[in-house]
Structure formats: C-alpha cells, structure tokens
Amino acid sequence: MSTAEETAGGEAQAWGEVTPDAARRLLIAAVEAFAERGYHATTTRDIAGRAGMSPAALYIHYKTKEELLHRISRIGHEKALEILRTASRREGSPTERLADAVSSFVRWHAGGRTTARVVQYELDSLGPDARAEILGLRRQVDAEVRGIIEEGARSGEFEVIDVHGTTLAVLSLCIDVARWFSLDGPRTPEEVGELYADLVLRMVGAAGAGAASAAPAVPAEPQT
C-alpha cells in the first residue's frame, strides 16, 4: 500500500494485514490508546473497551500489553523501512532519490501521525528483546538514508562534511512531523513532504534545490 493510499483511506487501513478481525480491532484500539494516554497509563481494559470487547477477549490474541506494542512497533518500522528502501533503490540521482525518500517518509509520519507517534516515541516501553529487534530495524532505516547521502557526497552532488550527523538530522526532522502535524493545519501531508524534501536538499547542499511554497508548515501563533 502506498503512503498516499494510507493517508486517503485512514490509519486503520494500514493494519489490513493483521488478522483475524478481532486482533486488528484490538491493535487499532491500542494504537489510539497509547497515542492518547501513553503506554504505561493505558490498561488492557482500556484497549478492550475501545475495541468493544471484554478484557478476557484481548488475551485470546495477545498475551500481554507489551506484545501489542511490540507488534505495532515492528509493523510500523517495517513499513517505514519499506518506504525508504523503495526510494533509495529506485533509478535516479542521489538528489532525486533523497527527495523521494524524505517526501515519502514525511507523508507517512503525517498521514499516519497517530501510529507514528506510538512507533517512534514508545521504544523505551519495550522489554530488552523486543527493543533490540526494533533497534535493528531502526539501524536499517538509518542505513538507507545514509547510503543516499554518502553516494551524493562521494559524487560531489552533495556538500556534506559529517554524513552520520546529517543522516541523524534528516531522520529527526522527518520523524518530528508526527508530533505536530494536524489535518486542521495549513498543509496536507503531501505538501509537508514536498517542503521537507526541499529543506533537506538545501541541508545537504544539493545543486538546484527549488524553493518551497511560502505558506508556513506549522500554524503560526496568533498575533496579539
């Protein structure tokens, strides 16, 4: 499923691979509860209630609350990795592939902002084994973006002194969209993606980075 399809169809469509239906309903309810209340403040009763099920029904599909978070985190990180891997391995120059990677990654974080907040900000709630698995996926995410930047730096297309630090800055910029983005804001996920792609190309010194739209990405504070 493309990022655009996920955004247009709502966040629930992102979990179509989770079966049976009851397990998917519980997972979606957990995403909503974790995003709203935080992992530690959410109980299994909260999750079951949101799904319209009894607490006992939850344990048929998930042994623990952590198992729910682990599955959410794994699926979310796998989708994020797929987005970046597709962009990084397409044909085109490093500039074109970096712009595609950033715009797609940002659209995913904006269009699926509720899911993305849980995926990106609840890592420390996982136990050691689950956390180690997710960190492995994060390293792969990092490697896809770093690979594009390294290639552009080697070819002279980018002016980057610190590839590792620049990669961290690019990923941090994209991920933070999940924290502030709102459908009531002045931009769509696609527009924010285009803006951030332009900002990142400027960050790496890519030649010909175009000017983005003049509208603000984040709603301005009211004038007094």
Per-residue confidence (pLDDT) for residue 16, from 0 to 100: 79
CB atoms within 10 A of CB 47: 25
Per-residue confidence (pLDDT) for residue 10, from 0 to 100: 46
Q: Which residue ranges of the chain lie beneath pLDDT 70?
A: 1-14, 208, 210-224
Q: pTM for the full model?
A: 0.84
First CA to last CA distance, the chain:
44
Interval 19-66: pLDDT, tens? 899 999 999 999 999 999 999 999 999 999 999 999 999 999 999 999
Measuring CA to CA, how many Å separate 162 from each of 148, 150, 156, 169? 14, 10, 14, 11
Interval 62-80: pLDDT, tens? 999 999 999 999 999 999 9
Per-residue confidence (pLDDT) for residue 178, from 0 to 100: 95
H/E element, 202? helix 189-203
